[in-house]
Chains A and B, each alone.
Chain A
Amino acid sequence: MGTYLLLEVRRTLRSVPFLLYTVGFPVGFYLLFTQVFGGGASNWAAQYMVSMALYGAMGAGLTGVGARIATERTRGWTRTLALTPLRPAGYLVIKLAASVLLTLPVILLVMLAGFAVNGVRLPVSTWLLLVPLLWLATLPFTALGIAIGYSARDEVANGVSIVLLFALSIGGGLWMPVQLFPGWLAAVAKGLPSYRAGELAWRVLDGHQPFGAGALVFAGWLVALLALAGWRFRRAS
């Protein structure tokens, strides 16, 4: 399975759309919004850094891995795999592991941009904590992508996952802080998994431990979306 996982990672990193949308966009938007529309609060560069890292990692999980399952299913590659000793559960494990590995370059590149270009300085322990925290924060969206991948045909799955990626990342305050939202929209945002995922990292920047009361909402989403993914997976195989 290791060889297959390695192939999965390598071929995804070769995909131009993946590099452009999932790696290029978050880094580009991060620099655009901090350099061009800079100023504001002093911790804006750091806050927006984790927001864009999360947005990029969500993209890797939701559209980069999860929804690609739909393509492989629709075009029959999974039939070829079914003729090997690899079981559907093993395939899913490979996809999950690939998504964990593929979110890493996005997270690291956005952080590097924050450190090198925007002069973000954080304690080493904070940098080290942010990486696994952002991994954890991405998990519900990877689960959602997998659910879509096992539910829809390829074009539909791609479209739906892109729409959800933007709706959730914008709605959850990753593109602009929820503090700037009108009251009713802020109330909606606080119910979304994307806001609660971002909150885990934002709290760390503010010097708190990551898991506050909002972490319960995050945990609820995580369990629900994992269950959804598991159900769709079992239905499909």
Chain B
Amino acid sequence: MVVRHYLGYGGDGTLVGVSGSGDAVVLRGVRKRYGDVTAVAGVDLTIAAGEVVALLGPNGAGKSTTVDIMVGLRAPDAGEVSLYGMAPRRALDEGRVGAVLQAGALLPNATVGELLRAIAALQPHPLPVAEVAAAAGVSELLRRRTDRLSGGQQQRVRFALALVGDPSLLVLDEPTAGLDVAARRDFWAGVRRYAGQGRTVLFSTHYLEEADEVADRIVLIDRGRVVADGPTTAIRAMGSARQVRCTLPDADPDALRDLPGVSSVEVHGAAVVLRSNDSDATLRALLAAYPLAHDVEVNAAALTDAFLELTGAEAH
């Protein structure tokens, strides 16, 4: 069972607060079905300018469809999408959005430099190719043919292609899937440089570590729905929460609350339930301070169940 848990934006299909055109991304009630399969089952999402947001979820959660709809490559069955207060197509035409999507082979028989210049020429306010190449870490590849690049190099070139229009919003759909650790690190270094200039980044991933290291906000998505949305620190705390249960006669809730890691205490007669962000420390302190505590159990908190179910084995 997945627990619906809202930490920030959204909730039951309604948006909290009023979103103006200053927001980089606004999705309202977006739905998409492919035949009998519901890929996106009503997503509401608002991303303010300057945020770095991870769309985190297992394979098949609807991340790619959501991203495709966001950049206007697929029309939603229902709902609205706006980027900087305009339709995605117009935002793309104005060069405000760059994206690295899945399944986008590079054009063969061209050099990286030629490709960057050709795409730059299509954009209304392109950046100098040399500048983009440096930002994406492809300066030494400009004369290389696109069919002679490693996976990591190809991905950095695709990143450069997304940057060449000088976008203020960057959308990345599982950009590091299939890359090794070094290629992954190089890729994210480029994204961090870009985000460091105060621009907006939304990326999808099924790696918790990537979301944790790069994003300042995480949106958890599962079965086409947003199931949690909040600052990365809050989501991380969800991941470590545990319940410690024990039987302890005459327990003093206030004293128990002072144990390390404990965030909340419930006492029902002799039954005690502690919520903890560090169950190991809580347990050691509990047994040392209260030798009479017995029938001790440590469980993942309900939210953690949901979280583990969401992020799957890949994340751990």
Question: Which residues of A approach B to under 8 Å, CB–CB?
Answer: 1-4, 6-7, 10-12, 14-15, 72, 75-77, 79-80, 82-86
Contacts and interface: CB of A to CB of B under 8 A. Distances in A.
Chain A interface mostly = helix
A14 B109 contact: yes
Given A83-B92, A86-B122, A77 B110 contact: no
Interface size class of B (residues with CB under 8 A): 20 to 34
B110 A7 contact: yes
B97 A10 contact: no
Nearest to B104: A76
Contact of A79 (B104, B107, B115, B124): B104
Interface stretch (B158-166, B188-196, B271-279, B304-312): B158-166
A72 B109 contact: no
B71 interface: yes
Interface string B95-131: 1011101111111111000110111111110000000
Contacts of A1: 121-122
B105 A75 contact: yes
B103 A83 contact: no
Contact of A80 (B95, B104, B117, B124): B104
Nearest to B68: A79
Contacts of B252: none
B93 interface: yes
Interface of B: 71, 73, 92-93, 95, 97-99, 101-110, 114-115, 117-124, 158, 161-162, 165
A4 B126 CA distance: 14
Nearest to B88: A83
B110 A11 contact: yes
Contacts of A10: 110, 114
Contact of B73 (A2, A82, A84, A85): A82
Nearest to B167: A83
A75 B115 CA distance: 16
A77 B114 contact: no
Contacts of A14: 109
A229 B105 CA distance: 25
Contacts of A80: 101, 104, 106, 119, 158, 161
Nearest to B95: A85
A11 B162 contact: no
Nearest to A82: B73
B146 to A, nearest CB: 9
A3 B118 contact: yes
A83 B115 CA distance: 14
A11 B122 contact: no
B114 A85 contact: no
A12 B109 contact: yes
B104 A77 contact: yes
Contacts of A76: 101-105
Nearest to A3: B121
A48 B302 CA distance: 81
Nearest to B72: A82
A86 B99 CA distance: 15
Contact of A15 (B73, B109, B115): B109
Given A79-B73, A85-B122, A7 B104 contact: no
